[in-house]
Structure formats: C-alpha cells, structure tokens
Structure 1
Amino acid sequence: MPSRLQELFARPGPVFGGWVVGPTDIGPEEFARAGYGYVGFDVQHGYLSDAGAAQLIRRLEHLPIATVVRLPNADAAPIGRVLDAGADGVVIAMVESPDQARAAVAATRYAPSGVRSFGPLRAGLGHDPSELEARVSVFAMIETAQGLGAVEDIAAVPGLTGLYVGPADLAISLGYGLAQAWTEPTVVDAMGRVRAAAEAAGLLSGIHAGDGRIGKAAVAKGFRMITLASESQALRRGATEHLREASGDGPSASTPGGYG
C-alpha cells in the first residue's frame, strides 16, 4: 500500500508542507487541520531526537497528513527508528556525493539490498519487508557547493525519491548571505540546476521555502515538494498579527526563511 506521501505525489501539482522543530503535539495537528499535505520533523536543527520524532509520528497515524523526518546524516539506526514509527519518508541533510546518497537509500532497505534492521512499531504498517520498503521515500538534501557539483551523479543513485534544496546553507556555501538566497542569480541558478537534475532523473524536486511568498515563487520555478513555515514561525506570525489587530497599529508580521 502506498504511503500518504506517495499518494500526494501521484497527483499533479505542488505539495505544501509544514515543519516542526520542537516537541509539540499541537503543531502537527494544526498543520493537518489547515490542509497541509505533509509535516516535516527536524532532527538536524530542531529540539527533537529521532525518538521524539517517532513518538510524534505515532500520534498522527489517524490524521490526514503525510510525515517526513530530516536527519543530519545517513546513520541507519535513527533512520530505522523513524521509519519503524511510520514516517513516510526521510530527508538526509548535507548529501555531497553518490556514496552518501547510496548510504541513505541502504538505511531504508532490508538485507540483502540494505542495512535496515527489522522492527516495525506501528501495527498498521504490517510485517512484509518488501511492503515496508516500498512505502518509504528518500530525499537527498543538496545544500553545499560540493553537493551541487555532484548533483547529477547523486540524482542517478537507484532508490532515491527526490532531491531537496536547502537554500540557506546553499547560499552560504556559495559565498552569499542568507538574505541573498532567493535574489542572488548564482544561488537561484543553483536551485534551478538541482531541480533540473531531479527532473532529468525522474525524481521529485523539493525545497525549503520558509513562507508563503517564497513558496509561491518555488512553485513557479517548478518545485513540487515545498516546505512553508515551521510551527514556531507560524505561531510568531499569528501572534504578531493578533497583537497588531488589537493595538490597531504596527506592521504586519514577516516570516524569515527558516532552517533550510
């Protein structure tokens, strides 16, 4: 049976996601209520461990939202834990070579094709190893100059589902500031190269936007998996807007780009 994430991408058009950086039960549920397609749990930059993310994923079993987890590397143990809890996919940060991409794929596959240990925690997942493997989506995050230089070779790794751009780190790695991530032609062209490499290889292209305005621009550039605000950004923006309305003055809230 396909995962919720796979069902979303079986339809045409972009899929928007929220992002969770802390141990909150409310955030993921509110993203689901708002109509977001998926929620990402950040084990790289957030205040979540893989075990904490797994607990939050278990609570979303009956809500109509897909789940992905960003992990800092291709270590098989934490990847296996979040998949055993029912995560639909993993986003592996800082992928810079085909070997790293192959390690990420192997962490989601059982022997003899991978190194994942068998131990599903959610009864609804079943116990067929081939079905458990088939429902997993694997995204390699391209966010450094080195990763960009190898992007076509990374995209050719069997088993990858997609490439996911981290604009903040990509801009820094290319020698620019965070504020230039979406305005500097060199960085914008680099994002386009990642998207083109994904498309040429038959993969999905994803990106960390950080707000709706940039999300709309990402759609125009052809990206399909677009992460908008984190729960902390959404709370800050909503809280600021309520305060502005109550006080009758002050600027509307602006949302920074977030961790990407």
Structure 2
Amino acid sequence: MTGRVHAALDAGSPIFGGWVVGPTAIGPEEFATAGYDYVGIDLQHGYLDDAAAAMMLRRLAHVPVATVVRLPTADAAPIGRVLDAGADAVVIAMVESAGEAAAAVAATRYPPAGVRSFGPLRAGLGHVPSELEGRVNVFAMIETARGVAALADISAVRGLSGLYVGPADLAISMGHDPTSAWRRQDVRDAMAQIVTAARAGNLVAGVHAGTGALGNHAARMGFQMITLASESQALRRGAAVHLAEAKATEPPDAQTTGGYR
C-alpha cells in the first residue's frame, strides 16, 4: 500500500494525529507544526461539510502531514468527493460486516474493481486511475460489539488498509458509559481483539484515544495509528494552562515560558 499515511507508518513507530471538528484555517497547520503525523477531518460528528473539508485539504497539500477524513457511511458519492479533493485516507464509521467494509473499499476504486466516479478536483493529483487509487487508504471503524463479532470477516476484505477503533461507541454497545471506555476491562479486551485481528490480516490498527496519556497507553497495546486531541480539546487545555499560569501565586519564569519577545 502507498500514500502518505503508510509513508508515515513505514518508520515502524506509532504515528499520532490531531483531529479537526470545526471550520478552521490554522488548526491543521498547527498540528503539523507541532509534529503530528496526520490530521483527521471529521465529517461525521464535526461541524464541517464537503466544501470546508476540501479547503482544508487544499491548504495542507504542501504541508508535510497526512490527511484522514472520517465519514458516517460507505456512501460512494461523499467518499469520492473527499478523495477528489486530496484526502490520503478515509475512515468509515460504524462498520459491522464484511459487506459494509467491502462497500467502503469499492467507493475508493474505479470500475471494474469499484464504484468510484472519475472527477479529480486537484490537478496535482494526476489523472491516472491506478495512481489515484494507490494513494488512498481505507479504514473500517470498529466501534460496536457486532463489529467485533465480525472481525474475522471484516479483516479479510481485500483492499482494506486497517481497522480503526472508536472506544466511546464500543463502550456504549457493550452497555457502558462512553467516558468509561478505557477503564472497562471488557472494552479493553475487545480493543485488544481488534489489534490482534489487524495484525493477523496485515492491517493497520488505529484508535481514537482522545488524550496524550491514553495515546501512550494505546501505543503500548499495539495500536499503530493513534488520534490524540481535537483542535477544540487542544485549545481548551492550552487556554487552561495559560490561565493557571497567569493566576499562579508564584509566577512562572518569564524567560522559560515562551511567548513573544
């Protein structure tokens, strides 16, 4: 498999991503500048549409960071649009069967192998169908108990690049509060099953961690592609730290805290 996502994975270490859920001109570039390996653009739970995603993807065309777009279904039309705009990978939510995973793959392939319609929006991507197909990675999001039960069949789908875990929805499907996902032994066991299935199928194991601490834990579990904070989470945490520093009884050393000079 090719593409910027797998180019990042070729180093052999886990790769880490930031997540974007709202319109922003600087969020993705800030993640890239901070050293993140990829930026996720959320068209499932985010406040974004195709046009906003396309603008972000174009801005990142010459930034050394891979781009991943999450979509709610395997519908071929929206998948094709984000690929035409230059996305390096797509993550398809709520995959529970081999048929759904196969539909996701087919949406990224041109006939006769798939159902993608030819319509590149970026001239820089070229016009050779095989090359356009080759740069794309497809991840099936496993985030329900039914998806875990179908792991063997899903992992066997030809053309799939990886399995991507959504811990919150997985926890809900198993009868738990979504915020307790990483603390529940049965949920962690299911996540470990997904890592094992990915390895057995020569696929990438990805996960939505949500924090750096959980990202560290995910890497130790064997996940290779790990999403950390969204831009809103990063802003909230950074803003809280700045405010705490400003209100501190013992002021921090102005020479070591950065900022403008």
Q: 2:183 is matched with which residue?
A: 183
Q: How far apart in 2 are the matches of 1:9 and 1:182?
A: 24
Q: Is contact 1:6–1:135 with CA below 8 Å preserved after alignment? A: no
Q: Does 1:116 align with 2:78?
A: no
State the distance in 2 between where 1:207 and 1:2 align: 20
Amino acid at match of 1:207: V
Matched with 1:82 is 82
Once residues 137 and 171 of structure 2 are traced to their aligned partners in structure 1, the CA distance between those partners, rounded to angstroms, is: 26
* Map of 1:138 onto structure 2: 138
**C-alpha distance in 1 between matches for 2:180 and 2:45:** 21
Shift of 1:54: 1.6
Larger radius of gyration: 2
Structure 1: tracts of 5 or more residues without a match: 250-260
Equivalent position SS for 2:182: coil
**5 Å matches for 1:37-56?**
37-56=37-56
2:202 is the alignment partner of 1:202? yes
Tell me, what secondary structure is at the counterpart of 2:70?
Answer: strand
Corresponding residue number in structure 1 for 2:231: 231
Mapped pair 1:243 → 2:243: yes
Give the number of aligned pairs: 249
Cα drift, residue 103 of structure 1: 0.3
| Structure 2 residue 165 is the aligned partner of structure 1 residue 162 | no
SS in 1 for 2:64: coil
**1:69 positional shift:** 0.2
Q: Could you tell me how far 1:183 is from its partner in structure 2?
A: 1.2
Range with greater deviation from structure 2 (30-39 or 50-59): 50-59
Give the Cα separation in 1 of the matches to 2:54 and 2:92: 16
Q: CA deviation at 1:27?
A: 0.3
Deviation of 1:232 (Å): 0.2
Q: Deviations over 1:123-149 (max 9, x none)?
A: 211110000001100000000111111
Deviation at 1:122, TM superposition (A): 1.2
CA distance in 2, matches of 1:134, 1:191: 28
The C-alpha deviation readout for 1:99-118, integer Å capped at 9, x for no partner, is: 00000000000000100010
Q: Distance in 1 between matches of 2:132 and 2:91?
A: 17
Deviating beyond 4 angstroms after TM superposition, the runs of 4 or more aligned structure 1 residues are none
In 1, the alpha carbon distance for the partners of 2:131 and 2:6 equals 13
The alignment yields a C-alpha RMSD, in angstroms, of 1.1
Q: Which residue of 2 aligns with 1:6?
A: 6
DSSP-derived class of the 1:182 partner: helix
Deviation at 1:45, TM superposition (A): 0.2
Question: 1:191 Cα shift?
Answer: 0.3
Cross-structure match for 2:255: none
2 CA distance for matches of 1:137 and 1:117? Answer: 17
Q: Distance in 2 between matches of 1:114 and 1:2?
A: 18
In 1, the alpha carbon distance for the partners of 2:81 and 2:38 equals: 19
Which residue pairs with 1:69 in the alignment? 69
**Is contact 1:51–1:81 with CA below 8 Å preserved after alignment?**
no
TM-score under structure 2 normalisation? 0.94
Distance 1:212 1:220 in 2: 13
**In 2, Cα distance between the equivalents of 1:230 and 1:123?**
30
TM-score, normalised via structure 1 length: 0.94
> Equivalent residues in 2 for 1:206-221 (5 A)?
206-221=206-221
The runs of 5 or more residues in structure 2 that have no matched partner are 250-261
